[in-house]
Amino acid sequence: MRSTSPVWHPFTQHAVQGEIPTIVRTEGAWLEAEDGHRIFDAISSWWVVTHGHRYPPIMAAIRAETERLDQVIFAGFTHPPAEALARELVAITAPELTHVFYSDSGSTAVEVALKMALGFWLHSGENRRRILALEGAYHGDTIGGMSVGERGVFNAPYEPLLFDVGRLPFPHHGREQQTLDALDAACRDHAVAALIVEPLILGAGGMLIYAPAVLAEMARICRRHGVLLIADEVMTGWGRTGALFACEQAGVAPDIACTSKGLTGGVIPLAATLCSEPIFAAHYDEDRRKTFFHSSSYTANPIACAAALANVKVWQSEPVIQRIAALAAIHAKALDRFRGDKRFENIRQLGSIAALDLVVPDAGYLADIGPRLYRHFLARDLLVRPLGNTIYLMPPYCSTEAEIGRVYDAIAAIEL
């Protein structure tokens, strides 16, 4: 039956979705539905919630900031939460990253990064316009984000709007050199402006993992050819891979880094794009044509900045990394039970992220099994959104072994 609601939901085919639960309350790792059901949020509400829903220090910071500021134009003005947060972000990321540009989402953070890279080369007097990206990547649903993401069913209707991008094969285990050779060749043969990567793991592309050494070598190749490296840490940042930012595990300092999702602990939208001094300097000129022409109405919203600042303080004052390590150990133990199970393959884990593929004839995002799996989990009061036949877990850091164990029990109960 067709819903009577006027709401059009994201990534939702309403013709087959069925009834959509109404959530009326959240707490910790749980969502509470209108009918009283409590649903375990095994994917952190699309990878954003880190410490848990309505984490008290962050919620308190939001309440306090509403007594001082709401929205302030950020062109020609500033405010304390944005200034304090920018200083903290510069302090906790690679020292090469010296400036912070605020926006509203992961997609806009990527748009900003691409525009920064192209602006840098234009203002530096070099005609470099080629962008490189990994096959299977996902960088958002705005035009630039779609352009550097994998082409397919997601963006086929919008193909006329997208710009051409150089594609590198994903560095699958045992085939890493193919990726590195392709990157080196592309940098030699084209006027490459930048390489954009999701460091260590593709998100929507299937939770595919590659080694820190590969990321480090990609960074070295970029440096050798003078190509900018953009790290899309929108999903990987704020502890998901086991470190504050994934690039740390490879010892890599990108020229530009994108962060969102966990930036505010997943409570309220905010994004930041950090860049190195040369990129800022290329836009710093008395010639107003070199201005960085990008903004949105809600750039650096003070309440969102206050939430993010509170999140940084949580990281500084609480044992977050230890919680993530404990969560990783829970995943590792639970995944062992599936290693001899012929229903599953490619069992993998990186930090707080775990994934495995269900063996089916029609693998991929639109695999018929996907909606069935979603219903299978929801019937057990578990929020899991498989990527086709890929089942992944990315729970909040407050999740207990018993809570996560419920999800693995549900995976074990899958019938083909």
Write down the pLDDT at residue 271. 98
At residue 2, the pLDDT reads: 74
Q: Is the dihedral of CA 139, 140, 145, 151 positive or negative?
A: positive
Question: Which of left, alpha, beta for 105 (phi over 0: left; psi -120 to 50: alpha)?
Answer: beta
**How many Cβ atoms are within 10 Å of 94's Cβ, its own excluded?**
19
125: three-class secondary structure by DSSP: coil
When pLDDT is averaged across residues 271-291 and rounded to a whole number, the result is: 97
Q: How far is CA 190 from the centre of its chain?
A: 28
Dig out the tokens for 193 from the structure. 């402006």
Tell me what pLDDT residue 1 has. Answer: 62
**In a 10 Å sphere around its CB, with 0-12 CB exposed, 13-18 middle and 19+ buried, how is residue 360 labelled?**
middle
Torsion on CA atoms 12, 17, 18, 23, rounded to nearest 10: -40
Rg (CA), the chain: 21
Query: How many Cα atoms are found within 13 Å in the side-chain-facing hemisphere of 131?
Result: 25
Question: What Cα–Cα distance (Å) separates residue 311 from each residue in 26, 44, 86, 178?
Answer: 18, 16, 13, 39
List the alpha helices (DSSP H) in 53-199. Answer: 56-65, 80-92, 106-123, 143-148, 176-189
Which tokens sit at 259? 């962060």
Say which residues have a Cβ less than 8 Å from residue 91's Cβ, sequence separation at least 6: none
pLDDT of 4 > 90? The answer is no
The region of weakest confidence among 70-84, 162-176, 355-369 is: 355-369
Handedness of CA 173, 196, 273, 45 (dihedral sign): negative
- The helix (H) or strand (E) run that includes residue 302 is helix 302-317
Confidence (pLDDT) at 277:
98
Q: Is the dihedral angle over the CA atoms 280, 282, 288, 292 positive or is it negative?
A: negative
Report yes or no: 198 and 113 within 8 Å, Cβ to Cβ. no
Nearest of 379, 384, 390, 387 to residue 404 by alpha carbon: 384
CB atoms within 10 A of CB 152: 11
Encode pLDDT of 27-46 as tens digits.
Answer: 999 999 999 999 999 999 99
Least confident of 15-19, 54-58, 169-173, 205-209: 15-19
How confident is the model over 269-279, as a mean pLDDT? 98
Report the mean per-residue pLDDT for the chain: 96
Q: Are 262 and 58 in contact (CB under 8 A)?
A: no
The 8-class DSSP code of residue 345 comes to E
| CA–CA dist 121, 219 (Å, integer) | 18
Structure tokens at 14: 């309403």
Distance CA 310, CA 58 (A): 5
Nearest to 304 by CA among 259, 342, 347: 259
List the 382-383 sheet strands across, edge first. Answer: 23-27, 30-33, 38-41, 382-383
279: tokens are 């990129």
pLDDT of residue 3: 77
Candidates 246, 242, 239, 243; CA nearest to 265 is 239
Has residue 168 got a pLDDT over 80?
A: yes
Tell me the whole-structure pTM to 2 decimals.
0.96
Collapsing DSSP states into helix, strand and coil, what is residue 276? strand
pLDDT tens-digit series, residues 331-380 = 999 999 999 999 999 999 999 999 999 999 988 888 889 999 999 999 99
Q: What is the DSSP string of 6-24?
A: ----TT--HHHH-PPPPEE
% pLDDT > 90, the chain: 94
Instruction: Give the number of residues written for the chain.
Output: 416
Domains of the chain: 14-54+319-412 (3.90.1150.10), 59-317 (3.40.640.10)
pLDDT at 63 over 80: yes
CA 259 to chain centre: 7
DSSP 162: P
**Confidence band (pLDDT; 50, 70, 90) for 125?**
very high
Q: Which of 222, 282, 209, 215 is nearest to 251 (CA)?
A: 215
